[in-house]
Structure 1
């Protein structure tokens, strides 16, 4: 009886060997695919070598001092009037361009699309949240008290409002928005 059992094991051994090879190949392919996916994810989301959405703009006044106030006084006055009206209308949504001062840097929002967040104050004293998508545009190197200009979409909230879409349109259908600081436009 022992011989028969041993013979069966010997007969099945080549089959098991083939099965083990197939399983190992499948596992190897899955691991290779996972590594390739991880590398692609890293290059897409974390690598900072792509500066295609950063423009150098020539914003100098006559004395040669860099100036980031890209919007005229007339434009700024109109934008501030529009924001004042929007404070009382909960369904307010519109594109706006502003000159502002960064008053506070906030923690990044890492849920879903990653966003760089900070608070700005405009000339009329109104405080707004800026939510800049850093999955679609480069992080803006700002610090407290920086003078910036930005263009984005305003949406009402119970704290004054939020400005988002401060990046290029990934589908290329809209002009998109941007943030300008220290002579560079980030979109």
Structure 2
């Protein structure tokens, strides 16, 4: 019984370390790139559930989604021309105030494929520590 408790503690501490340091688990799907080509590849291959990082220019600020968990929504255009819907959970993270078309936003979150270019979500911390925390960066401020 003592060995099981120690094992549980070691696993928990290792998981906490991974969450705090942004290290992916060995078998997790992740695309971290300084450019948008990895996101374009994910789109072309209809891949989902990928942790991605990038930046784009806001083309459209959409009304908040108020059904279920509330999300601030906007569309980014990447350098590749691909568009992404950002769905930022504002029940778990602060909303980006003053967001406007033409603004640059950096992101780190989970990519989900759709025919319009894809969706980025999980742009916030996970209060249950079951998912890699994400973020948005706008005008030097990080929202997570």
State TM-score, norm by structure 2. Answer: 0.72
Residue-by-residue CA offset, 1:91-117 (whole Å, 9 max, x unaligned): 422011112111110011111101000
Work out the number of aligned pairs and report it. Answer: 112
Which residue is equivalent to 2:53?
A: 97
Q: Distance in 2 between matches of 1:137 and 1:144?
A: 21
Which of 104, 124, 129 is the matching residue for 2:85?
A: 129
Which residue is equivalent to 1:7?
A: none
Which residue is equivalent to 1:114?
A: 70
Which of 68, 75, 91 is the matching residue for 2:33?
A: 75
Residue-by-residue CA offset, 1:117-164 (whole Å, 9 max, x unaligned): 000011111111000001111111211111111111000011110000
Which residue is equivalent to 2:113?
A: 156
The structure where strand makes up a greater share of residues is: 2
Q: Distance in 2 between matches of 1:115 and 1:99?
A: 19
Q: Distance in 1 between matches of 2:136 and 2:48?
A: 21
The structure where helix makes up a greater share of residues is: 1
Which residue is equivalent to 2:141?
A: 184
Q: 3-state DSSP class of the match of 2:44? A: coil
Residue-by-residue CA offset, 1:151-178 (whole Å, 9 max, x unaligned): 1100001111000000011112444101
Q: Please say which structure displays the higher CA radius of gyration.
A: 1
8 A Cα contact 1:76 1:99, kept in partner? no
Corresponding position: 1:167 with 2:127 = no
State TM-score, norm by structure 1. Answer: 0.56
8 A Cα contact 2:37 2:80, kept in partner? no
Q: CA RMSD in A?
A: 1.6
Corresponding position: 1:88 with 2:88 = no
Give structure 1 stretches of 5+ with no counterpart. 1-73
8 A Cα contact 1:166 1:177, kept in partner? yes
User: Which aligned runs of 4 or more in structure 1 are off by greater than 3 angstroms?
Assistant: none
